[in-house]
Structure formats: structure tokens, C-alpha cells
Amino acid sequence: MQIRYPIEITIKTYIEQRAWQQVELKQCPFHPDGGCGLSRHGTYPRKIPDDCLVARWYCPDQRETISLLPDFFASRLPGTLDEVEQAVNIADASSSQEEAAERVRPDIELPGGLRWLRRRIKYVREALTILAGLLVNECSPDLQSFHEKYNTDCVLTKMRDIAEEHLHALPRIVGFGPRSDGRYCHLSTSNN
């Protein structure tokens, strides 16, 4: 399980200060009254950037780990929310997704860059569509509308703060909703 770690420092400072060592989880999200034996359970590394860890705890009664994910990180996706937002903004400003993919992922071949970019576009649209409905804020589900409405350059990070009570149900990148059942859709093969 991931829960929000509201943090005001940058990712660079987080790494320099090794902030994951100082963070504390005050109470178990499963057992707020205590008594479950909640204990620190080390850390896990993020794929990007290197040398960056996330603090984790373990609830033996629930048999589940709990990690405190800093606000700047995307949930269940490598990198930061700002990096995701920048990629989607580049896609919106480009004449084609192919052009945008070549700009944001010049290190890989075009088909891989397109998949990488389209995945982020999809996640942002899903999250903003749900947030627009939850917040009833008269925004269309695009970064520019949310940017103008909330007067922020970091829309996705701001949405994590504004929609904190809904993070458990919101989809990946912004929210901490349940994992999907799988990567692929499995079609029934029964003969009817």
C-alpha cells in the first residue's frame, strides 16, 4: 500500500538529505488505534532516479507493507509527476505524437518512445477526468485547464494535495488506487 508523504523539498534535496531515513509513520493506516505491531520495514529503490529510496513499514496483522511516497513521485510509474506532466505538455504542444516522442525519448526507437509517451498521456487523462468529476471544478480533463483553474505549474502534484481524501481510489500516477488485474485484457475462449 502507498500513502502520501507531503513533502516540501525537491527531489534533489530529498536524495542529498537521505530524507527517507528521517520520515516516520505515526500510525498504521489499517489500525489507527495501534496494537498491530507496525514496524519499519526498510526501503525500496525507485527505478528513476538512481540512489533514491522510499521508506516502508510492515503491518503484521494486515500482512501488508506500507510505503510513504513523496508528493513529487509518480505512483506505480518510474520518475516524478513533474516529468510526466512535462512529457504530456510537450505532446500537447507538438504537431504529432511522433514528434513529441522523439523530443522526450530520443534515447529509444520511435515505437518505444510512442508507447512510453502514450501511456503517460492516458494516465494523465484518466486522472484528470476523474478529478474534474470529483472536484466539480468546471475544468476539462487537460493540464492547461487545471493549470489555469488552480494557478499552478505543477498540476499533478497540486491534484495529489487537493484530492488527498480520494487518493486511495484514484488511478496510478496521482492516486494510490488498487493495482489493475493485469497488463492485458484476457478474452474468453469458451465456445458458446
Q: What is the pLDDT along the chain (192 residues), one digit of tens a residue?
A: 999 999 888 899 999 999 999 999 989 999 999 899 999 999 999 888 888 999 999 999 999 999 999 999 999 888 899 999 999 999 999 999 999 999 999 999 999 999 999 999 999 999 999 888 888 777 888 899 999 989 998 999 999 998 999 898 888 889 887 665 544 333 333 443
3-class DSSP state of 163: coil
Q: Is residue 133 part of a domain?
A: yes
Q: Is residue 178 part of a domain?
A: no
Q: What is each CA distance from 118 to 66, 82, 114, 122, 124, in whole angstroms?
A: 29, 16, 6, 6, 10
Q: Is residue 185 part of a domain?
A: no
Q: What is the pLDDT of residue 72?
A: 92
Same domain, 63 and 11: yes
Q: Is residue 191 part of a domain?
A: no
Same domain, 105 and 140: yes
3-class DSSP state of 135: helix
- Domain assignment of residue 59, given as a range: 2-70
Q: Is residue 130 part of a domain?
A: yes
Q: Is the pTM of this model over 0.75?
A: yes
Instruction: Judge whether 181 and 187 are in contact, CB under 8 Å.
Output: no
Q: Is residue 156 part of a domain?
A: yes
Q: Is residue 90 part of a domain?
A: yes
Same domain, 65 and 125: no
- Looking at the structure of the chain, the number of domains it has is 2
Q: What is the pLDDT of residue 84?
A: 95
Q: Is the dihedral of CA 54, 179, 72, 4 positive or negative?
A: negative
Same domain, 162 and 89: yes
Q: Is residue 66 part of a domain?
A: yes
